[in-house]
Homo-oligomer: A and B are copies of this chain.
Amino acid sequence: MDIQSTETPALIGLDWGTSSLRAYLFDVSGRVLDSRHSACGIMHLPKPRESGGFDDVFESICGDWLNASAVPVIAAGMVGSAQGWAEAPYIAAPANSAPLIGALKTVVSSRGTLVHIVPGIIERGAFPNVMRGEETQIFGALTAHPALGAGGKTLIGLPGTHAKWAFVVDGYLERFLTFMTGEVFAVLRDYTILGRTMHPCAGRDDDAFLRGIDMAVHAGATGMLSTIFSTRTLGLTGELRPEQQSDYLSGLLIGHELAGLSSHLASQGSTLDDWKLGLIGAENLCERYRTALHRIGAPDAGILHGTTECGLFHIAREAGLLPAIARSIPE
């Protein structure tokens, strides 16, 4: 009799984005047995994609796992984009996880393994929006925290290079916004005059960060193109020390993002108070957003952990990729 142990590998899940790859080895209960990280994001493959760049990275990260046990593989993120391993379609919002599961894109690796790629989500209209990877985190969060998904309105923020805010109503991802906050912060710091007077800061300078948020909220009507210049001028007038300027700019941009989110909600006749708030992302970045949300008087936002793993496992299970453990247990 072959009862599967919960120590036995049952699934490989890949979170394969632009700048990195994270791989998880799950048992049949969804527990993570092992995980690995690689800097070989889809824009950083060691070989071109035409020369087997994806296959090589996949083999180097997952080869020994697959040698030991030929488990199914699921992947999410930019790996499914036009520049990825195979292009997975976009599913139109509003959507729950069902249409994603019904539209998994498969690609066969050089060793013959079927890799199932999760589709992205698109919101069409005059101002289209797209996501790839975040949908898996969002449905993972709803699975891991059923209270978020069951009834009511949840607003999930995913800070980062291209921050997303997803409006989830009764388990459906209704619509979402993208803010290029992380990427804009990096290029302003690294390539414009604003970075020239900045000195690194060991920790986070809360005074400067909060001051940036306040500036965005109170003087923000002239817009970000104008307010960011204050990073320089407050330095020139001695009101902002060089080691404060980075956190000031960070607060300014996050403040503009949250002000934009609030304006969007207002245009829909809503406010942040109408939503349960959740945050998904790097801990210190989520903490910045919690601080900023608190500063503007928004409800407390919970930081949601393990959502990527949970989302990959959930979608694989719902898609029938896992062995049916329950049915193999003898009565």
Residues of A with Cβ closer than 8 Å to B?
Answer: 122, 124, 126-130, 162, 177-181, 183-184, 187-188, 190-193, 215, 219, 221-230, 233-234, 236-237, 239, 253, 256-257, 259-261, 263-264, 266-267
Is A128 a contact partner of B234 (Cβ separation < 8 A)? yes
A266 contact set on B, CB distance < 8 A = 221
**Chain B residues positioned under 8 Å from A183 (CB to CB):** 192-193
Indicate the member of A178, A180, A230, A236 with the most B CB atoms within 10 Å: A180
Q: How often does this chain occur in the complex, in copies?
A: 2
Chain B nearest CB: distance from A121 CB in Å? Answer: 12
> In the complex, are the beta carbons of B225 and A224 less than 8 A apart?
yes
| B236 x A128 contact (CB < 8 A) | yes
Q: Which residues of B contact A215 (CB under 8 A)?
A: 126-127
The interface residues of chain A, by DSSP majority, are classed as: helix
Select A226's contact among B177, B222, B225, beta carbons within 8 Å: B177
**Chain B nearest Cβ from A29, distance in angstroms:** 38
Residue of B nearest to A126 (CB): B219
Q: Across the interface, which residues of B come within 8 angstroms of A180, CB to CB?
A: 192, 225-226, 228-229
A253: B residues at CB distance < 8 A: 225
A180 CB, min distance to chain B CBs, angstroms: 5
Cα–Cα distance between A85 and B245 once the two chains are bound (Å):
26
Task: Give the distance to chain B from A261, nearest Cβ to Cβ, in Å.
Answer: 7
Q: Given that A187-B191, A191-B187 are known contacts, is A225 also in contact with B130, CB under 8 Å in the complex?
A: no
Instruction: Report chain B residues within 8 Å CB of A191.
Output: 187, 190-191
- Contact partner of A187 (CB less than 8 A), chosen from B192, B223, B224, is B192
Measured CB to CB, the nearest residue on chain B to A192 is: B183
Residues of B within 8 A of A187 (CB): 187-188, 191-192
CA distance A281 to B215 in the complex (A): 29
Bound-state Cα–Cα, A106 to B301, Å:
57
**B223 touching A263, Cβ below 8 Å:** yes
Known: A184-B225, A223-B224, A223-B259. 9 other contacts (CB 8 A): A126-B219, A130-B233, A179-B225, A180-B225, A180-B226, A190-B191, A221-B260, A221-B266, A223-B256
